[in-house]
Structure 1
Amino acid sequence: MPAVSLLAVLTVLLSYLLGAIPAAAWVARARGVDIRKVGSGNSGATNVQRALGNGPGLAVAVFDILKGALAVGLAGLLDLGQPVMAACGVAAVLGHNFSPFLGFRGGKGVATSFGTMTALLPVAGLGAALLFLLSVWLTRFVSLGSILGAVTAAFVCFVAGPLWLGLVITGLSALLIWQHRDNVRRLQAGTERRFGEKTAGAKN
C-alpha cells in the first residue's frame, strides 16, 4: 500500500507537469510572438488561432487535449484506479491553468479539461463536444461554447457516471467558468470577440 500510494502521488505530480507544458507559448514563440502580450494574453489555443491562424491554433488545441487524456491514461495504465485517474486529470488541468513555466499563469483549461473528461467518461466528452460545436457554429463565441460544453459534461456525468465523478467534473466545470469570468462580462456587454476575428499583434 505505501508503494502504491507513493506511485499515485508521483503520477499526480507528473500529470501536473505534463499539463504545465505551455504549448501555446512555445508555438507562438517559435513564430516570433509572445502570446501573453497579444489579444487576451491567454496562453491557449483560441488566442493562438487569433494571433497566428488556424494551423497553429489547431496544433495547440490537439496537444492540450492530449495532456488531459494522457494524464488519465497513464494512471489507468498503472492500474491506480479511477479516483487517481481523475486526480491526474485534474492535476493536468491545474498545470495548464497555472503553469510554473509561465509564472503560474496559463490558459483557461478548455482543451485539457475536455481531454480529461473524455478519458474519464467518453459520453461526457461527446456531449461537451456536441454542445461546444453547436454553440460556436450558431454564435461564433468560443467562450460561450466552452462554458455550455462544460456544463453539459457535468450534467452527463451525474446521469451516466458515479456521483463522485459528477462532483469532480462539476469542479472542473466551475473552474473553467471562473477562468472565463472576463469573457462572461464581455458577452454581457456585447464586446466579446467571435471565432475567426484577428487579434491585435496577429501575424498572417
Structure 2
Amino acid sequence: MEFFGNINIIFFIVAYLVGSIPFGVILAKQFAGVDVTSSGSKSIGATNVLRVVKETNPALAKKLGIATLALDALKGTLVVLAGMYVGLSLETLWGVAILALLGHCYSAYLKLEGGKGVATALGVLIVLLPIPTIIGGLVWAISAKVLKISSLSSLLGLIGVIVSTWVFADGLGIESNIPLYIIAFIVIYKHIPNIVRIIKGEEKKIEINN
C-alpha cells in the first residue's frame, strides 16, 4: 500500500490514464456516428478525425478535428499543471509528461492502440518548454499551410522544438535532455508509416482550411 501512497507514483498512473482518454474516438462516435479506429489511418488523433468525418459530414469535420486537437493537447497540459500545483520535482514532471504521451499513443482503453502523439506532446511541452514549443508551433503552422501534409508538418514542428531548445533554452532545467528526446522518439516512432509514405511520395495531403 505504501507504493500507492507515493505522490509521484499516483501522478504517473493518473498521467497515463488521463493521456489514454481517446477524445477523437469519443467525439467522432458521439457527433458523427463513425469509428475512426477502423477508418482512414485508424489513428485517434485530429487529422484522422478530420479525414474520416469529412467523408460523411464535411461541415462537421473541421469542428471535430479542432476539438480533438484541443482536448488531446489539454489532457497533457492539465496533468503537468496539476503536478506543478502539488509541487512535484521537475524531473518527476518530465516523467508525467512522458506517461501522458504514452497513454495517448498506447491507450489503456483501446487495447494499447492510439494516436501519433503530436497534440499531447504539444500539450505537455507548452508548459515545460513554452518558448521552444511556440517556435515549433509556428514551424508546424507554416509547414502545414505550405505543404498541406499533416505528418510532415508535425515532424518539422517537433524538430523546431528540439532545435529551439538547443538555441534559446538552457536545456530542460534538469541534468539531461533525455526526456525531450524520449518524447521525440515516441512521436517519430508512431510516424514511421507516414515517413515511409513521405519518402515514396505517397503521403496524402489534407486541406486543413476546408
State the TM-score, normalizing by the size of structure 1: 0.90
Q: Aligned residues, how many?
A: 196
* Alpha-carbon displacement from aligned partner over 1:151-199 (angstroms, at most 9, x marks no partner): 12122223313354632112211211111111111111111111228xx
Aligned 8 A contact 2:28 2:34 in 1: yes
Aligned 8 A contact 2:98 2:182 in 1: no
Which residue type is aligned with residue 73 of structure 2? I
After superposition, residues 40-79 of structure 1 pair within 5 angstroms as 40-52=41-53, 53-79=61-87
Aligned 8 A contact 1:114 1:128 in 2: no
Percent identity of paired positions between Structure 1 and Structure 2:
30
Which residue type is aligned with residue 186 of structure 1? R
**In the alignment, which of 55, 76, 87 is matched to residue 95 of structure 2?**
87
Which residue type is aligned with residue 17 of structure 2? L
Aligned 8 A contact 1:8 1:84 in 2: yes
Identify if the C-alpha distance between structure 1 residues 158 and 167 changes in structure 2 by more than 3 Å, giving closer, same or farther: farther
After superposition, residues 1-204 of structure 1 pair within 5 angstroms as 6-30=6-30, 31-52=32-53, 53-159=61-167, 160-162=169-171, 164=175, 166-196=177-207
Aligned 8 A contact 2:135 2:160 in 1: yes
- Distance between the aligned counterparts of 2:39 and 2:74, measured in 1? 25
- Distance between the aligned counterparts of 1:195 and 1:94, measured in 2? 26
Deviation at 1:108, TM superposition (A): 0.6
- Distance between the aligned counterparts of 2:9 and 2:65, measured in 1? 32
Root-mean-square deviation (Å): 1.8
Query: Which ranges in structure 2 are unaligned for 5 or more consecutive residues?
Result: 54-60
Deviation larger for 151-160 or 101-110: 151-160
Aligned 8 A contact 1:67 1:112 in 2: yes
Deviation larger for 62-71 or 156-165: 156-165
- Distance between the aligned counterparts of 1:131 and 1:54, measured in 2? 21
- Distance between the aligned counterparts of 1:157 and 1:167, measured in 2? 12
SS in 1 for 2:109: helix
Specify the alignment match of 2:58 in structure 1. Answer: none
Which residue type is aligned with residue 114 of structure 1? L
Which residue type is aligned with residue 35 of structure 1? V
- Distance between the aligned counterparts of 1:12 and 1:157, measured in 2? 25
